[in-house]
Amino acid sequence: MKLKSLLSGAKSKALPVLVAFGLVPTIGWAQASMTRDKAYLIPAFPLKVSANHRYLVDQNGIPFLMAGDSPQDLMSQLTEPDADIYFADRQAHGFNTMGWIDVTCAGKDSPDNNDSRTVDGILPFTAHLAGGNDYEHYDLSKPNEAYFTRLDHIVMLAGKHGILVFLNPMETNGWLPTLRNNGLSAANAFGQYLGKRYKRFPNVAWIFGNDFMTWKDFKDDALEQAIAKGIRSVAPEQLQTVELNYETSSSFDDPSWVPLLDLNGTYTYSPTYIQNLHSYNQKPAPVYLLEAHYDQENVGHPPDYGTPSTLRREEYWAMLTGASGQFYGNFYTWSFAAGWKYYIDTRGVEELTIWKNFFTSLPWYDLVPDQNQSVVTSGMGTFGDLKVRVSNSDFCTAAKTEDGSFVVAYMPTVRTVTVNMASLKGPAKATWFDPTNGTYTSIAGAPLANSGTHEFTPPGKNHEGDGDWVLVLDASGAAL
């Protein structure tokens, strides 16, 4: 992440503790929350891994499509009332996950916050180790009750809005010096403290790392894992994942983390299908797009700006190469830079809502990537490599349900593709889906026979004047 100038805010007013939420750890939220013109069912937390290890389900067995924002600096930048406003906004756009909130905010990603204080001045720890009075010398055995009560409230506010929260106990882009100064035993004890405190919250999961460039150093890796092991020892049912190094990695690339993890996150600034297929093929586990290009940021080598078109490519490619959701990112919602309230509801957010509505209308959890191109047999474009800009890639990703009920293909540019119709279980309805406005265009000739091949060409530019479309072939016999 780029360094930034952070927003300073007014003093917060403590919100009442949501007693029912805090004291009923396995509460199952079932009420519906109307968000614009779409009703989203609040999941029955806590979540768990599905029987086939490919996605998450709630306590009622309902598949959970992760639609996450990444408010990393929320604890240091927002008052509780502002956090409530932010969560309400994200719920209204269909977000159901925060991936992630840093428990403590200082270091490279928070250069203007030298001691990880909240916006109203609460520090996370009450003492320092010998050798310094900075955040790198905080004594992890001396957590500040007032600070963690604030974090309790943040978690409960997210729960009120039906949001799963991934907490990052000590992100490695800034806090490795603190872990080194404290040592393994203290790191493990801090993990146990967090596990004991947050195991009662059904909407909490854990993410470790963050631009973890030194994970191949055994000592650094062991320090971060000590926290994860501490949490796991007292909160074994809570989900865990890790972010390793940029500019491309998967959580399972570090074999020593795999026994600790439930989810395999893809981190890449390259075309997401490349690394996401790598993640999908490593080991059966819920794969998700952990981090890619963020809205309103220019990153990567070669660099690419987070335009709506770039974000759409990342999102649809990921879902059609085995993902069970994604963490969207936005400069103004990871950093909460000055003016964040005016810059968080972008075109990219509107199109992410469209993305979520589209996939929840399908059995997305049954889609299997078409890795050998036996479904879409020509017109795929160029697969490329990790040096290709997202905005320049034209590769078509496709997936089908194992029973042949659906085929879904995403085409970044207008071209003709050939589909093996025998991959469908029966005659199919065919439609083009416009990912920029959520509309469908029927393809003439339906139902199309499930034999031989068929060529499909999009109807031209989409609503935003771009060339990307989604082809949907429905042989389920039900209305789309």
Q: What is the pLDDT of residues 399-419, one digit of tens each?
A: 999 999 999 999 999 999 999
Q: How far is CA 6 from CA 58, 112, 340, 400, 403, in A?
A: 36, 7, 10, 44, 50
Question: Residue 41: its pLDDT value, please?
Answer: 75
Tell whether the model's pLDDT for residue 160 goes beyond 50: yes
Which pairing describes strands 204-209 and 240-243: parallel, antiparallel, or unpaired?
parallel
Question: Residue 459: its pLDDT value, please?
Answer: 95
SS3 of 236-261: the string is CCCCEEEECCCCEEEHHHCCCCHHHC
Q: What's the chain's average pLDDT?
A: 92
Give me the residue label for tokens 């299997």: 368
Terminal CA-CA length for the chain: 40
Question: Residue 430: its pLDDT value, please?
Answer: 98
- Residue closest to 134 by CA, chosen among 169, 103, 104, 171: 104
Q: What is the pLDDT of residues 419-468, one digit of tens each?
A: 999 999 999 999 999 999 999 999 999 899 999 999 999 999 999 999 99
Mean pLDDT computed over 10-38: 30
Q: How far is CA 35 from CA 81, 289, 327, 371, in A?
A: 20, 24, 20, 36
Question: Residue 40: its pLDDT value, please?
Answer: 55
DSSP alpha helix (H) spans, 174-286: 176-182, 184-198, 218-234, 272-282
Given a contact cutoff of 8 angstroms between Cβ atoms, the answer to whether 436 and 462 are in contact is yes
Tell whether the model's pLDDT for residue 103 goes beyond 50: yes
CA distance 303 to 389: 7
- Residue closest to 129 by CA, chosen among 80, 78, 180: 180
What number does CATH give the domain 19-360? Answer: 3.20.20.80
Give the domain ranges of the chain: 19-360, 368-474
CA distance 21 to 35: 22
Angle between helices 184-198 and 218-234 (to 10 degrees): 30
Class of domain 368-474: mainly beta
